[in-house]
Amino acid sequence: MSGGCVGSKRYVGWKVSRVRWQPSTSHYRATETFISGSWNDSDNAICLWRVPESEDDPILLQQLSHPGAVNDIQYLSRDEFATGSSQGGVSLYQHTAGGQMVKKMTWDNVHSFMPGIAPCTALATNGDQIASVGEDGRLVLISPTQEQPIRTLEGVGGCSMYAVVYVRASEVLTGSMQGHLKLWDLRSSDPVRATLHSPDQVGVCNLSGHPTQQHLVAAGGEDGALAIWDMRSTTHPFTIISAHTGPITEVRYHPTCPDHLFSCGLDGQLLHWDASASARPTHITSYKGTRDQPGGSVTVWLSSDVARGSIETTSIIPPSPLPINSVDVEGSTVIAGSDNEAIHTVRQVLLY
């Protein structure tokens, strides 16, 4: 564990597939609550937790039964979040004023085979829309205000898709287990805008968008490699980092300090990637861009130091013999869920 970190482990009695902090009310006040989802062989649930200010374990506030394993959780707003199910459906939940969770709507069989169900594998949101991908190779667009999906896009080749992220309000990037990254223009009748290939066409397990520079995407690979992509130049990744010894299960940028990145994997590691040392004025350049691809400040992740692998890497919990499935960060506190039926809480990860 990194110096100064304070960690705890709460055993919950089920395998934890996803953890997500509830968005905070402002940049000046960190949230105290988060959601977890399970992927047990039998009954599954989503749970609401509160993290006390002390160094105690998270406190369970509410538990709701969930249809199938919880394969993903994504917030649309501070009070609404969506879940993706191993049974092929997507559900929408709401936090009430009384501090509880209630289910608002479910879209059944969003993903399916002929015959049978196809698991929903990942979700992405842009505030007023949900993008869902599944093992059936489909990208399905859902509006929280409509009872039926608004659009279904078929994947080329019928390959299962395992990752999705919005790179613009009308553009979605998906990743497949064949190593294909597809950029979709949702405004077009012919939506596949570009097909990228991950290094050696290794399967893409997870995608994470930069919180302020949406064109910057981190991709976690089946081979344990962490690739940084700049969607303005998609010929190849900007850099590839040998991160884990097994498939990466999740990658997350810090929401307010995006020079920091966190990853976890099937190798049981939870890693903190600190590129802030590269954030020197000589590395902040300008990208002029084009009319269709406007420019902006180049982030630290596109610096020459990062390209050379100059990143401070810390293992923030002792390696686990079982997979770490999910990670999220809020302020200086990291939470993670694992197959050892535990939720890890690590405080004081970032010292401001």
pLDDT of residue 290: 34
CB-based contact 231:184 (threshold 8 Å): no
CB burial of 158-189 (b: ≥16 within 10 Å; e: otherwise) equals ebbbbbbbbbbeebbbbbbbbbbbbbbebeee
pLDDT of residue 292: 36
266-278: pLDDT as tens digits: 999 999 999 988 7
172-230: pLDDT as tens digits: 999 998 888 999 999 988 888 888 887 778 899 999 999 999 889 999 999 999 999 99
Question: How many other C-beta atoms are found inside a 10 Å radius of the C-beta of residue 43?
Answer: 9
pLDDT of residue 163: 96
CATH number of 6-347, picked from 2.60.120.380, 1.10.287.3510, 2.130.10.10, 3.40.50.620: 2.130.10.10
CB-based contact 225:183 (threshold 8 Å): no
How far is the first Cα of the chain from the last one, in angstroms, to the nearest whole number?
18
Strand partners, 308: none
- Could you tell me which of 284, 162, 305, 332 has the C-alpha nearest to residue 228? 305
State the DSSP H helix or E strand holding residue 12, giving kind and residue range, or none if neither. none
Q: What is the pTM of this model?
A: 0.91
294-319: pLDDT as tens digits: 333 457 898 888 877 778 999 999 99
Indicate the SS3 state at residue 42.
Answer: coil
Bond before 211 cis per omega within 30 degrees:
no
CB-based contact 126:133 (threshold 8 Å): no
17-36: pLDDT as tens digits: 999 999 987 666 778 999 99
Amino acid at position 166, single letter: Y
229-280: pLDDT as tens digits: 998 887 788 889 999 999 999 999 999 899 999 999 999 999 999 998 875 5
- pLDDT category, 156, cuts 50, 70, 90? low
